[in-house]
A and B are shown apart, each in its own frame.
Chain A
Amino acid sequence: MFKGLTVGLVAVAMSMGASAGASNVSSSKLIKEATAAYKQVSKDTGYQWTVSVKALKAAQAAFDKGKYTDAEAHARAAMDLIEATRLQAKIEADTWKMRVPK
């Protein structure tokens, strides 16, 4: 059950590096997608990670400064964190019961 999450976190690390040909249009689109995903996961799971919020804010801040490559990296990181949150919620939906002492 930890594997999925670890994969999610590794993906975050990797996505920080990769980003080429970023533009105003492409990074704006990515930020919008990440924000939409954030809202959807908040709705589905009832909670979020603080780091996802930070990554989204960082993406917007970079975008506002015209640093589109950075903006995309942050938006991708946010997306991965948001997906990891969803995965965590999915795993935990039943797993939590195992921790209750009998």
Chain B
Amino acid sequence: MKTIIRSTLGTLGLGLALGVSAGPVEDQAAFQKYYENKFPNTPVMDFQNGVYSILPEAREQWEAIEEFPPYEIAIENGEKLYHSKFANGKSLADCFGPEGAVRGQYPFWDKDRGMVITMERAVNECREANGEKPYGWKKGKIADVTAYMSFNSRGQEIKVDIPSDDPRALAAYEEGKEQFYTKRGQLNFACADCHMLTAGNLYRADTTSPAFGHATSWPVFRSKWQSMGTLHRRFAGCHTNIRANPYKAQGTEYSNLEYFVTYMSNGLEFNGPAARK
């Protein structure tokens, strides 16, 4: 009798946990399953190739661009910047090692400071700690340096952690999640509307990419920009498209959104930099 009661309670407890407040682990499983069901022909690891994982015609052109990708110039610039000495004789290599192959460590939750640390932020904080001016957040040198670092980090597994011993980390994740699913702007779109519920549909002339794999390949050379840009540059562009004022690059909103979106892609590999349309 005792055992029956206990197991009933146990089941109830589990039911409550799933129904009322699913945690990040359950969120992630459901998220990834959603895309696997929606695009059964796409091998799971291929989602890291963005819209090209679901569009064969566009993929051919992308592969032709990748034969000699435009971001190679950024990687070379980034390599020079990475190793060039600060006024104090140090360089970024003193912060991130000889090749900067640290992409897999970002973004992470910094318990001491109670905030999400992205790779871009870490680069600029290294510069500031050494008495240098920070780079801009969206394009130019920040994109070149992170292109070099990401290139040297290709193949690193995405394994964003939400430390269970710090409720603020979960709160940041939840904020990012709310941001992803909440409609914004005059056009009344949520990230999830285009990149989840109707991912792969045409919006005028463009097919929207699956959000599973969104955070893997940055920085990106976009043909539309004709230059490199960071993930937060793209976030801002998306918000402007739906006629919502963008948030500040590297502000809490976008950093938490990056935290959520990258966590959703756990298990894929970092494969940036990349070329996109």
Residues of chain A at the chain B interface (Cβ within 8 Å): 2, 5, 9, 46-51, 53, 81, 84, 88, 91-92, 95-97, 99-102
Contact = CB atoms under 8 A, between A and B. Distances in A.
Interface size class of B (residues with CB under 8 A): 20 to 34
B181 interface: yes
A101 B243 contact: no
Contact of B183 (A51, A88, A100): A88
A67 B34 CA distance: 54
B101 interface: no
A96 B244 contact: no
Contact of A92 (B22, B31, B183, B247): B183
A50 B239 CA distance: 9
Contacts of A92: 182-184
Interface in B204-255: 240, 243-245, 247, 253
A46 B178 CA distance: 13
Contact of A88 (B30, B178, B184): B184
B26 to A, nearest CB: 8
A95 B196 CA distance: 16
B243 A96 contact: no
Nearest to A2: B188
B197 A99 contact: yes
B264 to A, nearest CB: 11
B8 interface: no
A101 B33 contact: yes
A48 B182 CA distance: 13
14 contacts: A5-B188, A47-B245, A47-B247, A49-B185, A49-B244, A50-B240, A51-B243, A84-B186, A96-B178, A96-B181, A96-B182, A96-B183, A99-B192, A101-B33
Contacts of B192: 99
Contacts of A5: 188
B240 A99 contact: no
Nearest to B240: A50
Contact of B186 (A81, A95, A100): A81
Contact of B190 (A46, A48, A81, A96): A96
B24 to A, nearest CB: 12
A101 B183 contact: no
B177 interface: yes
Contacts of A97: 181
A100 B181 contact: yes
Given A47-B184, A81-B186, A88-B183, A99 B196 contact: yes
Interface in B22-62: 22, 27, 30-31, 33-34
A47 B244 contact: yes
A98 B251 CA distance: 26
A101 B199 CA distance: 14
Contacts of A81: 186
